[in-house]
Structure 1
Amino acid sequence: MDIFALSPEEFVEKIGTGTIVHNSGDLFGDHLRAVQRVLKEWNYGKDLELAGLFHSIYGTEGFQDFQLSLNRRDDVKRLIGERAEFCAYCNCVMDRVTLDATLSAPAGKHKIMARPDVGGHEIALTDQQFEDLITVHLADWLEQVEREAAKINKRHGWLNKGDAWGYRRSAYQRMAELLGGPAQETYKTVFAREPQSSRHISQAYTPKLQSWSGRR
């Protein structure tokens, strides 16, 4: 397959994302395209739209049922550009607690850590890279949280319907505040629909997941 003869959307489909069910219950490819659409609606530009399309292409701390090999980073860079690929890469490999921690860091001091299973290394972020990352990360969650909250997901510790609303609640709220504009408005709109019965729930961590063996 000559991937450079494909559009980014065609590439995502060709590598099999349409055969994998995402955490939210949709097909993985449908979720990727939906996050891309959210970012288009927010008018953050083509780079972040493509980062949204590829936001979990290498697998993430919260979703490992599909993992394009990190050995293919150069291919992805050539396909979508370095800015979009770096954002997607960070979203995939980061230990999310380190993203939540750096939300309070001053300008010029943002950094995250990769998870131990993908190297455990520090990744320093420019202010633009930090903004890119929280924009895509927030769009990803807002696109799916209502579907997640409508069901039980034992892998994430959500044993009752509605539990997903509390996942890293304060971190997502802070991301929305930092971004402002359409991202914050979407956050307010989505979370205004949360029932009162779950608004006390707060889960600050991401449980460890079992990797899928079918790496590409």
Structure 2
Amino acid sequence: MDIFDLTPEEFVVKVGTGTIVHNSGDLFGDHLKAVQRVLKEWGVGKELELAGLFHSIYGTEGFQDFQLSLDRRQDVKRLVGERAEHCAYCNCVMDRETLDATLSAPAGKHTIRARPDVGGHEIVLTDQQFSDLITVHLADWLEQVEREAAKVNERHGWFKEGDAWGYRRKAYRQMAELLGGPAQDAYQAVFAREPDSTRHISQDLTPKLKAPITPKIFVQ
């Protein structure tokens, strides 16, 4: 059987995500499934739930220990559907600074840019695609921020416990406000647990990561 004939849930197990440690200290596969569960709780529908499961399938600006080749995009579309794959693709390849910059753009004017290492091209988003992207991107962060903040991660510029709370603080708050509803409720619940001692911390940019020397890449 071709691996792309598996269910999406079977696929993420088969490609080895359960053997890779994620930034937040849990297994990568567990984090993927947890983001999917968060989105299910928000009632966003099956397509975005699958986008959450695949949100970092090609590697992201902040996590590159697993990278499915971009040559397999058509296979992933067949597996999870075009809407879910497009959302996951944007989440993976985008320069996050360009997402943050477009949060204040008016309807119909949302544009992001891919990182230079994956082409540096412009990606124009419809209003629906923009909403999809910030929904999945916010769910991803809310699922892990408390674990990230409990440890040091010098690779991301978090040199003491608690620093992760400040990562793109303004941008995530703005995403929550734009989405409203369960997403905003979840944001408020998570950040209500932030200690007073870190609420002044703000890190606007994502440090430029170097790909691991031996990245786990599935290129069937």
Shorter-chain TM range is over 0.9
Report the secondary structure of 1:58's partner residue: coil
Q: TM-score, normalised by structure 2?
A: 0.97
Runs of 4+ with >4 A deviation: none
**1: CA distance between counterparts of 2:162 and 2:26?**
18
In structure 1, the partner of 2:205 is 205
Question: What is the identity, as a one-letter code, of the residue corresponding to 1:83?
Answer: R
In structure 2, the partner of 1:112 is 112
**2: CA distance between counterparts of 1:181 and 1:126?**
21
Contact 2:58 2:92 in 1 (8 A): yes
In structure 2, the partner of 1:72 is 72
CA deviations 1:130-178 (Å, max 9, x no partner) are: 0000000000000000000000000001001000000000000000000
Question: What is the identity, as a one-letter code, of the residue corresponding to 2:94?
Answer: M
**1: CA distance between counterparts of 2:3 and 2:63?**
24
In structure 1, the partner of 2:2 is 2
Aligned residue pairs total: 216
**Mind listing any 5+ residue stretches in structure 1 that lack a counterpart?**
none
Report the secondary structure of 1:67's partner residue: strand
CA deviations 1:83-139 (Å, max 9, x no partner) are: 000000000000000000000000000010000000000000000000000000000
Q: Please report how far the alpha carbon of residue 208 of structure 1 lies from its aligned counterpart in structure 2 after TM superposition.
A: 1.1
**2: CA distance between counterparts of 1:199 and 1:76?**
39
Q: Please report how far the alpha carbon of residue 3 of structure 1 lies from its aligned counterpart in structure 2 after TM superposition.
A: 2.3
Contact 2:176 2:187 in 1 (8 A): yes
**Mind listing any 5+ residue stretches in structure 2 that lack a counterpart?**
none
RMSD: 0.7
In structure 1, the partner of 2:150 is 150
**1: CA distance between counterparts of 2:5 and 2:96?**
34
CA deviations 1:3-35 (Å, max 9, x no partner) are: 243110000010111110000100000000000
**2: CA distance between counterparts of 1:136 and 1:4?**
23
**1: CA distance between counterparts of 2:62 and 2:88?**
14
Q: Please report how far the alpha carbon of residue 2 of structure 1 lies from its aligned counterpart in structure 2 after TM superposition.
A: 1.1
In structure 2, the partner of 1:38 is 38
Question: What is the identity, as a one-letter code, of the residue corresponding to 1:181?
Answer: G
What aligned pairs does 1:134-149 form with structure 2 within 5 A after superposition? Answer: 134-149=134-149
Report the secondary structure of 2:139's partner residue: helix
Contact 2:4 2:76 in 1 (8 A): no
- Give % identity: 81
Question: What is the identity, as a one-letter code, of the residue corresponding to 1:17?
Answer: T
In structure 1, the partner of 2:171 is 171
In structure 2, the partner of 1:192 is 192
In structure 2, the partner of 1:28 is 28
**2: CA distance between counterparts of 1:87 and 1:168?**
20
In structure 2, the partner of 1:182 is 182
**2: CA distance between counterparts of 1:33 and 1:206?**
24
